Structure 1
Amino acid sequence: MNITFRWYGQGNDTVRLEQVKQVPGVKGIVWALHQKPVGEVWEEKEIMTEVDYIKSFGFHAEVVESVNVHESIKLGNDERDYYIENYKETIQNLSKFGVKVICYNFMPVFDWTRTDLFHPLPDGSTALYFEKSKIDSIDPEELIHTVSSNTELTLPGWEPEKMGRIKELLAAYKDMTEEKLWENLAYFLKKILPIAESSGIKMAIHPDDPPWSIFGLPRIITGRDSLKRLLAISDSPANGITYCTGSLGAHRENDMAAMAAEFARHSPFAHIRNVKIFENGDFIETSHLTSDGSINIKGVVQKLSDNQYEGYVRPDHGRHIWGEKCRPGYGLYDRALGIMYLHGLWDAFQSEK
């Protein structure tokens, strides 16, 4: 298990790499060129600058999250081939600096979605919260205003240039169906996977978060059947999954421990975190501790241990604790606690072998 830590870059993250270096067992930093407009080629010089900085602290920079997919590719419109060529060039450029995994997603318009970024928990901490009835009834533009008023930091997938075009984008997806979105995903993968494979990079799709349709937009990477369908698109070793327990686990029907066993060899990258699901479909993110949420984190790590999982793992969204002012879900303290919990589980299961 190769423990990593997601970091948003100098000047774009409250966490510093010299702090991450003090968390035991962290081997690598999961990074991206977050200020780069979606669809543009990541140039070698700017990649080298970021990678060299990360390596200067003794970390590897082998996982990128994310190289975002341009909406034209998801829509399948006339501009998609241009952006696919840019994507292929970015893959090749990243491979020159030791990148082994690229995480990406295929969620239309919105990335991960929450209704409250700092919802109080009984212990006095706050966490990301999803209120299903609000999402079912709210106008997307109202949600954008709510999110932007809660933080000055850009959320992944909620870039200002995209949010300024929200009406245009929603109109473009008006007739989009799940099947059409699947067709567009398959077209994209069949174009990029040969390049990724020849470059020694694994593409790891991130599940939709939450794993169901929102705002009338289809979402297709939602559970076991969809992961099997994704893998059936191509048997290339470059076609993989980011196994995210928090995203998939927000749906009660997804057995995360069983799915960890089934998809471990297809998942070069894993996000492990916990959520507590309520009867009405709401959920809130909790500590990583198994008993604090609805996901069997202990069982997930046990299955990964049983499979001698050698992929990259990172703690995912954490609570905001001890008064930390940070990017929503991405503070230092609770993710550091999560890492130590994952280490403890892993060590215990490995010692039983």
Structure 2
Amino acid sequence: MTDKQHVSLFPSWRWFGPQDAVTLAEIRQTGAKGVVSALHQIPCGEVWSLHDISQRKEMIESAGLRWNVVESVNVHESIKTASPERDEYIDKYCQTLENLGKSNINTVCYNFMPVLDWTRTQLNFPLKDGSFALRYDPVALAAFEIFILKRPGIENDYTEAQKEAAHAYLQQLSSHEKDVLQRTIMAGLPGTDEVYSPEEFMKHLGVYKEIGVVKLRENLTYFLSKIIPVAESYGINMCIHPDDPPFPILGLPRIVCTEDDLRYIVESVPSLNNGITFCTGSLGARRDNDLPGMIKRLGSKIHFLHLRNVQHNPDGSFYEADHLEGSTDMFAVMKAVIEEQLKRNMMGRTDIAIPMRPDHGHQFLFDADRQFYPGYSAIGRMRGLAELRGLEMGIRNTHVNKWKMIAN
């Protein structure tokens, strides 16, 4: 075995650009080496020019960091719904990939979630230590969906007991709290302040009325069949992000929730460049997902890691726990990742230092007066990154030498 076995994960940090409350100078002090960023100022579906990419890259490099992952080149709704103009938007997407490849940026994260990005019902759930976390409560979602959104056909999706619980929940909310709930659920793309109105959202739902899981999968496969050859030409690893939460909500289909879903996607267009963003928070929100096992079986296709934890509750809710606590065994996850790195080393692969970022983080008192995107405070993520790097080093020091002896 070569010294490549000692290559660690590539510690990275999501940065939303110059408008982000966390500065590049601060990121450099967290222990991160890479920056995960995107050109959020460019409307979804439009081409990222070489000039705009170069400007952002120079900004990051001048701070002593590396722009190693794009998150995300967002996929236009026309592509997801197979609208007549989808090929036009796919061509623009391919041009953006070409420009990123020419700029030596070789990992692109994206998702195929209809309309909304990740969805929570509360952005400031209080924890025992006085910090705040993101939370998903199915009762709160039902209250919004049944009594505020009033989605047609909703009466068939909930039991009478669930409807009663949702009504009781709504009754305890003030007008302001109802407005906050609506804005929290209807938030649009990351890195923007866009919030859908119920009318706008219902219009989107109308488009998806005839698009179920099978059709959405077909649309994703079509998209991948067009972009993966371009990604291969420019050495770009495409990595799809799981749905968050990983189950159907608000009448929208979900197709990136389970191991079977991920396997279907990577096998639908066979290529090493057609890969996965392995998000332990998103996938961990389903109790039936075996995360360490998924890494062992699909690890060769993992190009990017989002590491965070969630705590499940008996009522079906979950909140984002400390990175090393919660319902996911982060030790087993990290051990499986390091084993995957050793496999890549033995195969002679060059992509051993998988980019990893601490995903989301609690908002601590230190950051109380700063305006962050939900989940992206400074100190909470810095704590997560420190804990994850320590866990990684501990596993390497205690296990890699044993594996080396076995291999020899």
How big is each residue's C-alpha offset from its partner over 1:188-239, in whole Å with a ceiling of 9 and x where there is no partner?
Answer: 0001100011011011000000000000100010011111111111111210
The one-letter amino acid of 1:199's match is: Y
Select which of 42, 64, 68 maps to 1:58.
64
List structure 1 segments (4+ residues) > 4 angstroms apart after TM superposition: 140-145, 147-151, 161-164
Select which of 335, 347, 353 maps to 2:381.
335
1:159: how far off?
Answer: 5.6
Select which of 287, 293, 298 maps to 2:326.
293
Work out whether 1:191 is the aligned partner of 2:191.
no
Work out whether 1:18 is the aligned partner of 2:25.
yes
State how far apart, in whole Å, the 1-side matches of 2:315 and 2:78 are.
35
**CA separation of 1:104 and 1:93: change in aligned 2, threshold 3 A:** same
The one-letter amino acid of 2:119's match is: T
Aligned to 2:11: 3
SS of 1:117's equivalent? strand
Any stretches of 5+ residues in structure 1 without a counterpart? none
State how far apart, in whole Å, the 1-side matches of 2:300 and 2:12 are.
18
Select which of 207, 211, 220 maps to 1:172.
207
Asked if structure 2 preserves the Cα contact closer than 8 Å seen for 1:61 and 1:98, the reply is no
**CA separation of 1:243 and 1:313: change in aligned 2, threshold 3 A:** same
1:275: how far off?
Answer: 0.6
The one-letter amino acid of 2:123's match is: L
The one-letter amino acid of 1:314's match is: R
1:298: how far off?
Answer: 1.1
Work out whether 1:49 is the aligned partner of 2:55.
yes
Q: Percent identity?
A: 42
1:148: how far off?
Answer: 7.5
**CA separation of 1:4 and 1:119: change in aligned 2, threshold 3 A:** same
State how far apart, in whole Å, the 1-side matches of 2:40 and 2:214 are.
30
**CA separation of 1:144 and 1:30: change in aligned 2, threshold 3 A:** farther
Work out whether 1:86 is the aligned partner of 2:92.
yes
The one-letter amino acid of 1:338's match is: G
SS of 1:209's equivalent? coil
Asked if structure 2 preserves the Cα contact closer than 8 Å seen for 1:111 and 1:158, the reply is no
State how far apart, in whole Å, the 2-side matches of 1:43 and 1:318 are.
32
Work out whether 1:101 is the aligned partner of 2:97.
no
SS of 2:11's equivalent? strand
Aligned to 1:260: 295
The one-letter amino acid of 1:10's match is: P
Any stretches of 5+ residues in structure 2 without a counterpart? 1-8, 150-176, 342-351, 401-408
SS of 2:300's equivalent? helix
Question: Could you say which structure has the larger radius of gyration?
Answer: 2
State how far apart, in whole Å, the 2-side matches of 1:236 and 1:293 are.
34
State how far apart, in whole Å, the 1-side matches of 2:202 and 2:231 are.
34
Q: Structure 2 matches for 1:166-315, cutoff 5 A?
A: 166-289=201-324, 292-308=325-341, 309-315=352-358
The one-letter amino acid of 1:114's match is: R
**CA separation of 1:211 and 1:274: change in aligned 2, threshold 3 A:** same
The one-letter amino acid of 1:30's match is: V
Asked if structure 2 preserves the Cα contact closer than 8 Å seen for 1:173 and 1:217, the reply is yes
The one-letter amino acid of 2:22's match is: V
State how far apart, in whole Å, the 2-side matches of 1:144 and 1:348 are.
46
How big is each residue's C-alpha offset from its partner over 1:246-271, in whole Å with a ceiling of 9 and x where there is no partner?
Answer: 00000000111221222222111010
The aligned length equals 348
**CA separation of 1:148 and 1:95: change in aligned 2, threshold 3 A:** farther
Asked if structure 2 preserves the Cα contact closer than 8 Å seen for 1:243 and 1:270, the reply is yes
TM-score w.r.t. length of structure 2: 0.81
TM-score w.r.t. length of structure 1: 0.93
1:56: how far off?
Answer: 0.6
Aligned to 2:79: 73
The one-letter amino acid of 1:321's match is: F
